[in-house]
Structure 1
């Protein structure tokens, strides 16, 4: 079995919302890398990974909220994943500041 077939099986077995969050989160992280590029490729990759993770975890929460307000289905998760992928780092900082009462450094 090739790697591409394995990836297709994993994506096919995942719930539709999770697949939407992963794809749109990656797209949002890509947009962030294009419009706010870092000098270091290592930094770009870590920001992209952080954006994708925040799209999966925070995007699910925001996606459910959007879906409950608009009944948009998968489109709500696509929108939430993209926004969290692009602005995920700022969202995580905001949540940490709110919950942990962190002071800016």
Structure 2
């Protein structure tokens, strides 16, 4: 039996997902990388955790932002690339701002 490798599984998953989701994943990872490189923390572990959180926020929040950009500009996949990158790099700050707005002092 020829079992699929992890790379083959990723290729199959990416091939079967919508184009804008692929754009969010790739650009979110890029934004998270930029965030990790320029993060003020001296700990690489903390940078990696912030980068991971940025990538996750890019997937979930980047879709909303990408949809808004696409509606305004009609840029299609490029709108999702921009939304994913912005949320990958600044998603943590965006999530904290939303939490403060809706949860007030409880978000601290």
Counterpart CA distance in 2 for 1:39 and 1:5 is 36
| Uncovered stretches (5+) of structure 2, i.e. residues with no partner | none
Counterpart of 1:6 in structure 2 is 9
Aligned residues: 105
Counterpart of 1:100 in structure 2 is 103
Counterpart of 1:58 in structure 2 is 61
TM-score normalized by structure 2?
Answer: 0.90
The structure with more radius of gyration: 2
- Runs of 4+ more than 6 Å apart: none
TM-score normalized by structure 1?
Answer: 0.92
Counterpart CA distance in 2 for 1:97 and 1:26 is 25
Which deviates further from its counterpart, 95-104 or 25-34?
95-104
- Pick from 28, 46, 49 the counterpart of residue 46 of structure 1: 49
| Uncovered stretches (5+) of structure 1, i.e. residues with no partner | none
Matched position secondary structure for 1:39: coil
